[in-house]
Structure 1
Amino acid sequence: MAALVIAEHDNASIKAATLNTVTAAAACGGDVHVLVAGANAGEAAKAASQVAGVAKVIHADGEQFAHGLAENVAAQVLAIAGNYSHILFPATASGKNVAPRVAAKLDVAQISDITKVDSADTFERPIYAGNAIATVQSSDAVKVITVRTTAFDPAAATGGSAGVETAGAVGDTGKSKFESCEIAKSDRPELTAAKIIVSGGRALGSSEKFQDVMTPLADKLGAAIGASRAAVDAGYAPNDLQVGQTGKIVAPQLYVACGISGAIQHLAGMKDSKVIVAINKDAEAPIFGVADYGLVDDLFTAVPELVSSLEATAK
């Protein structure tokens, strides 16, 4: 049978996490279909049809899907779930909101946060904050899966030629309603998609110093800004910048950790980064255990000097 990927989109385009999930779905064997449930989401469905490896796009359109309410999206997935052996979601806030509802209604065990597909019924996923990898085999008729997107290469966004099939949209479940949203706009790359991330920890001491130290470095590197949970809990940075097991899982080409000790919770969210640079005045900080390059120094001295060096190099 085929695998169904639940697309994340903004009704106009497909989000990057969907491309990684398509790669995971292809590894399960069989055709890959993509569900685009949205409001006036024809452009998103068209974009999904161009993704390499996608055999068919199912487009369900209705105002009840405009804001991705989990209850309505889950109902749409369940309406077509009988045609699939695998149903895959990106392990994002949205995917992790919908997937458990689908698994519960299908009375199957959800397989969460997979990092590898060994076979059609066997998957690998991290446990104990990434300190061990569990191999999970499922005998369920339908496998409901969330995919750690950083573990899979993205499928090519172009090159495909899948047909788009219109599906009957399920009605509004009436179990929740959209009230409002406040969108924080930034010129910086999105944290989970950034190739370079600079992150600050509790050692920065205040939100003012966090901005004063981290912003110039991010500007020079063209990087996204992240933060440890300790920095977020202390109010130095907003919650959406948190990197870690209870924040965002990232795997950029370069990750610069400034004043971050390296708690297990944080390491679980960034240790798959290609190159890790750590700046910390504590030579025994656990972050140095995963860092490719480490500098034992006061970040308030080292980071401005690094910024100055980058400025000199750019001239």
Structure 2
Amino acid sequence: MSTAYVLVEQNNGQLDHVTAELITAARVLGEVTAVVVGEPGTGQGLAAELGALGASVVVAAESPSVTGRLVLPEVDALHILAAHNPGPIVLSANLGGNEIAGRLAARLASGVLCDVVGINADRTADQSIFGDTIQVSAAVGGASPIYTLRAGAVAGEPVAAAGTLQTLELPAATAKDVTVVSATPAERGDRPELPQAKVVIAGGRGVGSAENFKTVLEPLADVLGAAVGATRDAVDLGYYPGEYQIGQTGVTVSPDVYIGFGISGAIQHTSGMQTAKKVIVVNNDEDAPIFDIADLGVVGDLFDVAPALLEEINKRK
């Protein structure tokens, strides 16, 4: 059976949720080899978990200098593996994954498809383009076609496999390497991460201010155990941080319940949330396009509706 390589997304020995999605998407291409790039011991600590997700083999590509380098350790590891035993390569469609994909494509003389939303057994991939208004199937050549998968596009479905641990010696750093001299980790709050949240509370331009996000939407999110997101307009206006932007140039979410406040429904935003199982929206403009995709729409002032909803939920807890 053919081999498909997955670059594991992890931080300090903790798997990112997107890794399960990558393994699930790659499974149709062959037996999954999960590639862990990190400091010594990282792969051994993740092997059992990766096996439970569906990795037949876990390759620990490790070096003490990995954390002080950018991109090239991952490129080197995947290049060595695919050059020896060609096979498709699946990465996350984030900034790092897309850059790694481009460098690998040049080294392996294989095609690359970025931001795919599904991968097929015949090595074609599905892409959602023009603001997710058109779905296309694309194919590229080469012995090791490369795909970067949009987070949240594929549901992670663990299917236990052997998770056999192997090691790979990484090449030493060269003059081409960028050296990280300092880094400040992003602070994570108590709310769920957007791509994996079961409930998402989102706000748009109509929320009016950063203070309103904090005092109107965040208390509602906390009582529901929800993540908070924002439209591009709200982010551009400084109402909420950019890492919480939902949409075409932000995060894709597929929660069980999405509740949008003060959102008109521009395709920039709806392309990132329209796969939610239930869409509930509140807007004082009854002609807002967001109502076209809503399962339940409330025409009203969000500053009346949100506090009333919060009060009713608290009464029933």
Work out whether the TM-score is over 0.5. yes
Instruction: Supply the AA of the counterpart residue of 1:126.
Output: S
Q: What is the alpha-carbon distance in structure 2 between the residues aligned to residue 140 and residue 90 of structure 1? A: 20
Q: What is the alpha-carbon distance in structure 2 between the residues aligned to residue 67 and residue 47 of structure 1? A: 26
5 Å-filtered alignment, 1:94-173, equals 94-156=96-158, 159-173=160-174
**Paired residues, what number?**
312
Question: Could you say if the C-alpha distance between residues 63 and 245 of structure 1 is closer, same or farther in structure 2, counting changes exceeding 3 Å?
Answer: farther
Q: What is the alpha-carbon distance in structure 2 between the residues aligned to residue 161 and residue 113 of structure 1? A: 29
The CA deviation string for residues 126-145 of structure 1, in whole angstroms up to 9 with x for no partner, is 11111000111223221100
5 Å-filtered alignment, 1:231-246, equals 231-246=234-249
Q: What is the alpha-carbon distance in structure 2 between the residues aligned to residue 229 and residue 44 of structure 1? A: 38
Q: What is the alpha-carbon distance in structure 2 between the residues aligned to residue 159 and residue 135 of structure 1? A: 29
TM-score, reference length from structure 1: 0.93
Question: Could you say if the C-alpha distance between residues 277 and 67 of structure 1 is closer, same or farther in structure 2, counting changes exceeding 3 Å?
Answer: farther
Which residue is equivalent to 2:294? 291
Which residue is equivalent to 1:50? 51
Structure 2 spans left out of the alignment, 5+ residues: none
How far the C-alpha of 1:188 sits from its partner, in A, is: 0.7
- 3-state SS of paired residue (1:63): coil
Which residue is equivalent to 2:60? 59
How far the C-alpha of 1:60 sits from its partner, in A, is: 0.9
- 3-state SS of paired residue (1:261): coil
Please tell me whether the aligned partners of residues 37 and 73 of structure 2 are also in contact (alpha carbons under 8 angstroms): no
Which residue is equivalent to 1:72? 73
What is the Cα-based RMSD across aligned positions, in Å? 1.8
2:258 is the alignment partner of 1:255: yes
Q: What is the alpha-carbon distance in structure 2 between the residues aligned to residue 301 and residue 149 of structure 1? A: 34
The CA deviation string for residues 209-242 of structure 1, in whole angstroms up to 9 with x for no partner, is 1111111110111001101110010001011111
Please tell me whether the aligned partners of residues 55 and 160 of structure 2 are also in contact (alpha carbons under 8 angstroms): no
How far the C-alpha of 1:159 sits from its partner, in A, is: 3.8
Q: What is the alpha-carbon distance in structure 2 between the residues aligned to residue 43 and residue 154 of structure 1? A: 22
Paired-residue identity, %: 33
Please tell me whether the aligned partners of residues 44 and 165 of structure 2 are also in contact (alpha carbons under 8 angstroms): no
How far the C-alpha of 1:17 sits from its partner, in A, is: 0.5
How far the C-alpha of 1:110 sits from its partner, in A, is: 1.3
Please tell me whether the aligned partners of residues 196 and 222 of structure 1 are also in contact (alpha carbons under 8 angstroms): yes
Instruction: Supply the AA of the counterpart residue of 1:176.
Output: V
2:212 is the alignment partner of 1:209: yes
Q: What is the alpha-carbon distance in structure 2 between the residues aligned to residue 103 and residue 230 of structure 1? A: 35
Which residue is equivalent to 1:3? 4
Is the deviation greater in 110-119 or in 55-64? 110-119
Which residue is equivalent to 2:311? 308
Please tell me whether the aligned partners of residues 8 and 36 of structure 2 are also in contact (alpha carbons under 8 angstroms): yes
- 3-state SS of paired residue (1:50): helix
TM-score, reference length from structure 2: 0.92
Which residue is equivalent to 1:279? 282
2:199 is the alignment partner of 1:196: yes
The CA deviation string for residues 253-304 of structure 1, in whole angstroms up to 9 with x for no partner, is 1111111111111111111111111111111111111111111111111111
Which residue is equivalent to 2:268? 265
Which residue is equivalent to 1:220? 223
Question: Could you say if the C-alpha distance between residues 68 and 211 of structure 1 is closer, same or farther in structure 2, counting changes exceeding 3 Å?
Answer: farther
Is the deviation greater in 294-303 or in 116-125? 116-125
Q: What is the alpha-carbon distance in structure 2 between the residues aligned to residue 308 and residue 182 of structure 1? A: 36
Q: What is the alpha-carbon distance in structure 2 between the residues aligned to residue 54 and residue 47 of structure 1? A: 9
2:89 is the alignment partner of 1:87: yes
Q: What is the alpha-carbon distance in structure 1 between the residues aligned to residue 69 and residue 224 of structure 2? A: 34
How far the C-alpha of 1:68 sits from its partner, in A, is: 7.0
- 3-state SS of paired residue (2:275): coil
Structure 1 spans left out of the alignment, 5+ residues: none
Q: What is the alpha-carbon distance in structure 2 between the residues aligned to residue 313 and residue 213 of structure 1? A: 19
Q: What is the alpha-carbon distance in structure 2 between the residues aligned to residue 283 and residue 67 of structure 1? A: 53
Please tell me whether the aligned partners of residues 69 and 179 of structure 2 are also in contact (alpha carbons under 8 angstroms): no
Q: What is the alpha-carbon distance in structure 2 between the residues aligned to residue 154 and residue 81 of structure 1? A: 24
Please tell me whether the aligned partners of residues 6 and 88 of structure 1 are also in contact (alpha carbons under 8 angstroms): yes
- 3-state SS of paired residue (2:59): strand
How far the C-alpha of 1:67 sits from its partner, in A, is: 6.2
